[in-house]
């Protein structure tokens, strides 16, 4: 496809660790998120959208490649932390930005990368022409460092050059994105990936610079409370509103696809009702994410019950742009545009997950969900039992056996999580282990 003025612009906004009900349009009652609520009213609000993983970088592999992350060695680390210098997104692998760039799009990533470190990996090596943000998983919102300490280098870059900026990171990203949009020519469409770190720890709001500088550890156990978390999410909402206002001021809103989602479920202070579980867990609260899509030129406002997952965005956005995928790397996701445009009915599909050396397994097929945590196995009807309390494996033995085998057949297609992966990755002790005793009482 040659670039034309009719090709849609694309802005993909990704929050970090945002819980299912952290937006008021999804059920948050402790505070309001007016800008994201307005985006939901103007477009599609998904009720059954999933992340590809219960943690950060694994989902990002799926987003940028349109494939299950388990096809790539870097996608096995869950998340990619200790070996980010060695394993990451191979520069030769086709990606959403590289395919769109090849079709005439301007491409930029502003915010979090988390798909491997320099010098081997990076946004500029995988299809983005402009990058401003952090390479790793998390940084302090004011010091922009991945750890506490004066001698610690900032993880803040423009392209592949470290830079210094003053200010709250969420706002810095909003300002950078707004400026980049203003610089775009109407002659070429663009892809802007705006990947916030909010509301990922450290727990610091936009007025909390003094708190930030007094932290002894930016890790998620240090500090924080519901009030601070609310400030972080409201700041994220305001940042999105600023970017959308810039888009409107440039006269680009009508033919710009705006997607908003999260890389996994919420963490310590997030609201996930009516689900249970959180980040690092394959319970619904760890993988079901708030997701919005607006494209006034082609999609009418609606609430969609279509089951969808992160890796669907590559085939969906390529189809919207009229860009062919790379036949050598077929997507594991689906183009959901026909459903959203009313050309095809909502359809059932089967999705699969695994986490931490397969100590957690899950499959979703229609109303049924197979779940394994350590040695405990479950079958839930997630349409009626959103809290995943009633284990139906003995009442529905045929369904249980079918999904259990389907997961095994699916898993056999992908790279195994070997002892070497566990050794190089984070500690194999996962937060979900604390749920095992409770889960074992749920009708086993």
Per-residue pLDDT of 327-374, as tens digits, reads 999 999 999 999 999 999 988 999 999 998 778 999 999 999 999 999
Within its chain, how far is the Cα of 417 from the centroid?
22
Instruction: Give the 3-state secondary structure of residue 417.
Output: coil
Taking only Cα atoms into account, the Rg of the chain, rounded to an integer number of angstroms, comes to: 21
pLDDT of residue 425: 56
Q: pLDDT digit string (tens) for 251-298? A: 999 999 999 999 999 999 999 999 999 999 999 999 999 999 999 999
Within its chain, how far is the Cα of 400 from the centroid?
29
Q: Are residues 354 and 333 in the same domain?
A: no
As given in the structure block, the two tokens for residue 2 are 């040659």
Choosing from 321, 340, 359, the residue where a domain stops is 340
Q: Are residues 356 and 320 in the same domain?
A: no
Q: What CATH code is carried by the domain that includes residue 418?
A: 3.30.1120.10
Cα(288)–Cα(310) distance, rounded to whole angstroms? 10
397 has pLDDT over 60? yes
Q: pLDDT digit string (tens) for 192-214? A: 999 999 999 999 999 999 888 88
Cβ pair 37, 23 in contact under 8 A:
yes
Residue tagged active-site, from 35, 93, 114, 200: 114
Question: Could you confirm whether 220 is annotated as catalytic?
Answer: no
| Rounded (5°) CA angle 239-35-132 | 25
Q: What is the average pLDDT across 130-150?
A: 94
Residue 223 lies in a domain: yes
Considering only CA atoms, which of 110, 66, 26, 90 is closest in space to residue 308? 66
Q: Are residues 253 and 370 in the same domain?
A: no
224 has pLDDT over 70? yes
Largest CA distance in the chain: 61
Q: Are residues 301 and 416 in the same domain?
A: no
Top-confidence residue, 151 or 89: 89
5 has pLDDT over 60? no
pLDDT of residue 226: 96
Residue tagged active-site, from 56, 130, 144, 195: 56
Question: Could you confirm whether 114 is annotated as catalytic?
Answer: yes
Q: Which residues contact 261 (CB under 8 A, 6 or more apart)?
A: 13, 14, 15, 49, 51, 289, 290, 291, 292, 310
* Strand order from edge to edge, sheet including 256-262: 161-162, 157-158, 130-134, 106-112, 190-195, 9-15, 256-262, 291-294, 44-46, 302-304
Q: Residue with structure tokens 């930030």? A: 212
Choosing from 340, 367, 401, the residue where a domain stops is 340
Mean pLDDT across the chain:
92
Q: What CATH code is carried by the domain that includes residue 90?
A: 3.40.720.10
Residue 1 lies in a domain: no
Q: Are residues 285 and 367 in the same domain?
A: no
pLDDT of residue 163: 97
423 has pLDDT over 80? no
Q: Which residues contact 426 (CB under 8 A, 6 or more apart)?
A: 77, 78, 79, 81, 82
Question: Residue 440: which pLDDT band, with cuts at 50, 70 and 90?
Answer: very low
pTM higher than 0.85, yes or no? yes
Q: What percent of the chain has pLDDT over 90?
A: 83
Q: What is the average pLDDT across 96-110?
A: 98
Q: Are residues 280 and 405 in the same domain?
A: no
Domain residue limits at 405: 350-440
Residue 119 lies in a domain: yes
Q: Are residues 174 and 297 in the same domain?
A: yes
pLDDT of residue 424: 60
Cα(309)–Cα(325) distance, rounded to whole angstroms? 18
Q: Which residues contact 342 (CB under 8 A, 6 or more apart)?
A: none
Which helix H or strand E contains 400, and what residues bound it? Answer: helix 397-411
Question: Residue 94: which pLDDT band, with cuts at 50, 70 and 90?
Answer: very high
Considering only CA atoms, which of 84, 170, 174, 159 is closest in space to residue 125? 159
Q: Are residues 149 and 15 in the same domain?
A: yes
436 has pLDDT over 90? no
Q: Are residues 312 and 382 in the same domain?
A: no
Q: What is the average pLDDT across 23-44?
A: 98
Residue 3 lies in a domain: no
Q: What is the average pLDDT across 206-227?
A: 85
Residue 387 lies in a domain: yes
421 has pLDDT over 80? no
Q: Are residues 107 and 53 in the same domain?
A: yes
Q: Residue with structure tokens 């992908």? A: 414
Cβ pair 178, 246 in contact under 8 A:
yes
pLDDT of residue 85: 87
Cα(332)–Cα(413) distance, rounded to whole angstroms? 12
Question: Residue 1: which pLDDT band, with cuts at 50, 70 and 90?
Answer: very low
Residue 345 lies in a domain: no
2 has pLDDT over 60? no
- Structurally, how many domains does the chain consist of? 2
Across-strand partners of 161?
Answer: 158
442 has pLDDT over 60? no
Residue 2 lies in a domain: no
Residue 380 lies in a domain: yes
As given in the structure block, the two tokens for residue 11 are 């802005």
Top-confidence residue, 417 or 18: 18
Q: Are residues 335 and 354 in the same domain?
A: no
413 has pLDDT over 80? yes
Choosing from 340, 366, 397, the residue where a domain stops is 340
Q: Are residues 336 and 355 in the same domain?
A: no
Q: Which residues contact 212 (CB under 8 A, 6 or more apart)?
A: 140, 141, 142, 143, 202, 204
């Amino acid at each position: 496809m040659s670039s034309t003025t009719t090709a849609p612009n694309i802005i993909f906004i990704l929050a970090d660790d945002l819980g299912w009900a952290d937006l008021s349009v999804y059920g948050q009652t402790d505070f309001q998120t007016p800008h994201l609520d307005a985006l939901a009213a103007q477009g599609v609000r998904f009720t059954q959208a999933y992340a590809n993983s219960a943690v950060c970088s694994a989902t990002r592999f799926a987003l940028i490649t349109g494939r299950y992350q388990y096809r790539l060695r870097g996608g096995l680390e869950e998340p990619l932390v200790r070996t980010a210098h060695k394993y990451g997104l191979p520069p030769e692998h086709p990606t959403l930005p590289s395919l769109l760039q090849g079709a005439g799009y301007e491409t930029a990533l502003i915010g979090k990368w988390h798909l491997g470190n320099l010098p081997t990996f990076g946004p500029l090596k995988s299809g983005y022409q402009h990058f401003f943000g952090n390479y790793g998983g998390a940084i302090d919102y004011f010091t922009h460092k991945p750890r506490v300490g004066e001698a610690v280098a900032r993880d803040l870059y423009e392209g592949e050059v470290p830079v210094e900026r003053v200010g709250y990171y969420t706002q810095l990203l909003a300002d950078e994105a707004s400026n980049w949009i203003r610089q775009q020519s109407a002659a070429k469409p663009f892809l802007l990936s705006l990947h916030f770190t909010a509301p990922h720890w450290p727990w610091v709001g936009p007025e909390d610079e003094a708190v930030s500088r007094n932290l002894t550890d930016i890790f998620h156990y240090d500090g924080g409370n519901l009030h601070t978390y609310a400030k972080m999410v409201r700041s994220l909402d305001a940042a999105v509103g600023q970017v959308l206002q810039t888009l409107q001021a440039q006269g680009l809103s009508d033919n710009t696809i705006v997607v908003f989602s999260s890389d996994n479920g919420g963490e310590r202070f997030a609201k996930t009702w009516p689900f249970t579980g959180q980040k690092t867990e394959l319970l619904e609260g760890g993988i079901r994410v708030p997701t919005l899509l607006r494209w006034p030129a082609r999609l009418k406002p609606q609430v969609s019950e279509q089951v969808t997952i992160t890796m669907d965005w590559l085939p969906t956005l390529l189809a919207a742009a009229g860009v062919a995928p790379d036949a050598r790397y077929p997507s594991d996701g689906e183009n959901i545009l026909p459903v959203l445009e009313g050309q095809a009915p909502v359809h059932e599909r089967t999705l699969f997950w695994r986490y931490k050396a397969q100590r957690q397994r899950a499959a979703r097929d229609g109303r049924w969900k197979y779940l394994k945590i350590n040695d405990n196995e479950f079958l839930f009807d997630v349409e009626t039992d959103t809290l995943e309390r009633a284990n139906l494996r003995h009442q529905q033995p045929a369904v249980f056996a079918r999904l259990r085998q389907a997961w095994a057949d699916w898993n056999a297609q992908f790279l195994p999580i070997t002892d070497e992966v566990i050794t190089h990755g984070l500690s194999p002790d996962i937060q979900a282990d604390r749920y095992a005793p409770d889960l074992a009482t749920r009708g086993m």
